[in-house]
């Protein structure tokens, strides 16, 4: 297992979920919005700081599809922290994305 | 339902700016050197990085125009086409070696991402208010 790209992808995907959930929480509240927006911005910057080095060790055609995992992490974070519902159809879509990510991971990240 | 025709031109421009953003990122990274802070320093000094950043306002502007005039559920799945398009560009112009497993997995991801916004048969704008996009990060947006 290639540790650095793997950790990089996982961290970036988690940060994306933090960013999206924070921005959503910030837009839906009436108080302490700025805190959420600041958290989202910080998560964004941290994710960006990982993205560029990641591109030095992974091909674009591998790194980009892997970021599809962000949709999964964001959906799960929204369910956990924003009480959003996930329909059966969306779970199926999440399953597809995860399956695809595993394929791209074993086919493209692990040489 | 808004009975507008599918906004082909605007969607093409959107897809081009998203994919272009990623291409700029890759080129920018090819112009970097050094480790740690020196890496980021060289990154900020290459214009390709800033070209990538410049695509973000354009993406945002086009996207808001699109969803104002068209059903989100018709438009959003198209944005996941950025994945295969980018892979083609990667393999052709950056000479990346993408094997069959990567391609099949990526097509699965593309289909899954296109579906993921659907809830009760229609897209919920709240889930898709902004795709996981950053000025440098990739997204199916």
pLDDT tens by residue, B47-93? 999 999 999 998 888 888 887 877 777 777 778 899 999 999 999 99
The reported pTM is 0.85
The rounded distance, in Å, linking the Cα atoms of A85 and A78 is: 8
Which are the contacts of A9, defined by CB distance < 8 A and separation ≥ 6?
A54, A63, A66, A67, A69, A109
Which are the contacts of B64, defined by CB distance < 8 A and separation ≥ 6?
none
Q: Do A52 and B96 touch (CB under 8 A)?
A: no
The answer to whether A80 contacts chain B (CB < 8 Å) is no
Q: Residue A85: count other Cβ atoms within 10 Å of its Cβ.
A: 10
Per-residue pLDDT of A39-97, as tens digits, reads 999 999 999 999 999 999 999 999 999 999 999 999 999 999 988 888 889 999 999 99
Confidence of residue A31 (pLDDT cuts 50, 70, 90): confident
Task: Work out how many CB contacts closer than 8 A connect A with B.
Answer: 178
The rounded distance, in Å, linking the Cα atoms of B141 and B139 is: 5
Q: Do B112 and A93 touch (CB under 8 A)?
A: yes
């Amino acid at each position: 297992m290639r540790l650095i790209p793997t950790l990089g992808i996982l961290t970036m995907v988690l940060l994306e979920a933090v960013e999206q959930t924070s921005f959503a929480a910030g837009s839906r509240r009436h108080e302490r919005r700025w805190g959420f927006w600041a958290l989202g911005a910080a998560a964004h910057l941290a994710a960006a700081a990982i993205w560029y080095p990641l591109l030095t060790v992974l091909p674009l055609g591998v790194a980009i599809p892997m970021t599809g995992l962000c949709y999964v992490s964001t959906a799960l974070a929204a369910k956990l922290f924003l009480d959003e519902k996930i329909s059966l159809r969306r779970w199926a879509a999440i399953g597809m994305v995860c399956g695809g990510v595993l394929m791209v991971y074993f086919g493209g990240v692990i040489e | 339902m808004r009975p507008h025709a599918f906004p082909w031109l605007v969607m093409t421009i959107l897809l081009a700016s998203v994919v272009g953003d990623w291409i700029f990122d890759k080129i920018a990274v090819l112009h970097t050197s050094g480790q740690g802070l020196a890496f980021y320093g060289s990154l900020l000094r290459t214009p390709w990085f800033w070209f990538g950043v410049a695509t973000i306002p354009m993406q945002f502007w086009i996207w808001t125009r699109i969803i104002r005039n068209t059903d989100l559920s018709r438009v959003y799945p198209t944005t996941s086409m950025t994945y295969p398009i980018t892979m083609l560009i990667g393999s052709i112009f950056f000479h990346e070696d993408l094997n069959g497993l990567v391609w099949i997995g990526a097509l699965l991801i593309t289909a899954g991402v296109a579906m993921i916004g659907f809830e009760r048969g229609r897209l919920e704008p709240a889930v898709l208010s902004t795709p996981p996009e950053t000025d440098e990060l990739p997204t199916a947006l």
